[in-house]
Amino acid sequence: MKKNIEHNSIDTKNFKEALNQAVKNVGTAASSTTEKAKTALTKSKDSILKTIDTNGNGEIGIEDFIIIGLQTPGIKVNRADFLQRELMKNYPPDVIESAITHNPAYTQIPACEIDKIADEVIKFERNCVSGISAALGVPGGVAMVATIPADLVQYYGYMLRAAQKLMYLYGFPEIDTTEKEYKFDSETMNLLIICLGVMYGVQGTNTALKAMATALGKGVEKKLMNAALTKGTIYPIVKSVSKWFGVNMTKQVFAGFFKKAIPVVGGVIGGGITYLSFKPCCDKLKESLRDTLLSNPKYHSTKEETIIIDAIEIQEV
């Protein structure tokens, strides 16, 4: 009996030792796996940064997404073609020609009609972006690393396309989105940054956009407008918006990365979130554009806008 007790004690002791060793082995293996996973994630994050950082400043920012977005086929919008296509349903050629030469408000196309077209534009772009988001959001293992920038690029690409269309409907002239040695003009870049800032409700952007519309409506020279965007009155607002986007976009990119590294969220959910977030952004820009001197001849600038306009008019180029 005593021998059996001793034997059982030895077995128990051996079992505990074996168990402890097994736990240690699992811990070592887990630690090794974790380190390998961390290394893989770091390499993937570096790869994403390299893919997105098109302006080469070592950071993820709104400029990168604008550059990639405008280089994506179908994102650039030709103003004349767009207005022709949208207005030909209800207006004769001479009215359409006048709207293209000047703008829809100058041609006295009712504001309610422009609003209807704008709502259809937003609806169309919203359906496009939510569809691509759902497709890219489906878990796909290693390939998912490549879809993270693609998902966001498509989102901001469609947002840029919507912004161009809304600006043309509400009186802005052609935006020069042609590449010059793989780059876009600084003034074009900064104008689009202001528009995206309005869409996201970034402080100061609504005032800046309305001030630019008033300046254009008053016939301020293009070179003065460009100077305001690149080194003058509006430039500090552009820098502030870029900084805001830089912080938030970095979070977006890598939050999305870690979600998709563990594929548990389906594309339908991702698409739904995109679908809900896209329209409010476009609506903000629409509301800002629909009441400016370019879209409403009776518009009166606020005190803050007047300060910017006066500074644009007197600045040296």
Please check the confidence at residue 14 and state whether its pLDDT lies above 60. no
Determine the Cα–Cα distance for residues 3 and 9; give it in Å rounded to an integer: 10
The 10s digit of each residue's pLDDT in 117-148 is 999 999 999 888 766 545 444 444 334 334 44
- Name which residue leads in pLDDT, 263 or 225: 225
Asked if the model's pLDDT at residue 164 lies above 80, the reply is: yes
In a domain, 299, yes or no: yes
pLDDT confidence of residue 138 = 46
Mean pLDDT of the region 55-70: 80
* For range 170-183, the mean pLDDT: 86
170 touches 293 (CB < 8 A):
no
Average pLDDT over residues 169-181: 89
Smallest CA-to-CA distance from 70 within 193, 166, 168, 179 is with: 179
36 occurs within a structural domain: no
In this predicted structure, the answer to whether residue 47 has a pLDDT above a threshold of 60 is: yes
Mean pLDDT for the stretch of residues 175-201: 88
Mean pLDDT, all residues of the chain: 78
Residue 23 has pLDDT above 50, yes or no: no
4 pLDDT exceeds 70? no
Is residue 175 situated within a structural domain?
Answer: yes
Residue given tokens 């570096």 in the structure block: 46
Considering the domain boundaries, does residue 30 fall inside one?
no
Distances from the Cα of 262 to the Cα of 39, 41, 134, 255, 257, angstroms: 16, 12, 17, 11, 9
Residue 15 resides in a domain: no
Q: DSSP assignment of 155-186, as one string?
A: HHHHHHHHHHHHHHHTT--------SSS---H
The model's pLDDT over 70-94, given as tens digits with 9 standing for 90+, comes to 888 899 999 999 999 999 999 999 9
Q: In this structure, which amino acid lies at residue 44?
A: S
Expressed as residue numbers, the domain containing 63 is: 55-314
- Strand boundaries in the chain, DSSP class E: none
Give per-residue pLDDT as tens, 205-258: 999 999 999 999 999 988 999 999 999 999 999 999 998 888 776 666 655 544
Q: What is the mean pLDDT of residues 6-10?
A: 47
Number of domains in the chain: 1
Q: Is residue 7 part of a domain?
A: no
Question: Is residue 54 very low, low, confident or very high in pLDDT (cuts 50, 70, 90)?
Answer: confident
Residue environment code for 113-131, b if the CB has 16+ CB neighbours within 10 A, otherwise e? ebeebbeebbeebbebbbb
pTM of the model: 0.76
Quick check: is 70 in a domain? yes
27 domain-assigned = no
Residue 6: what pLDDT? 46
pLDDT level of residue 115 (50, 70, 90 thresholds): very high
pLDDT at 36: 52
Q: What CA–CA distance (Å, rounded) separates 96 from 222? A: 24
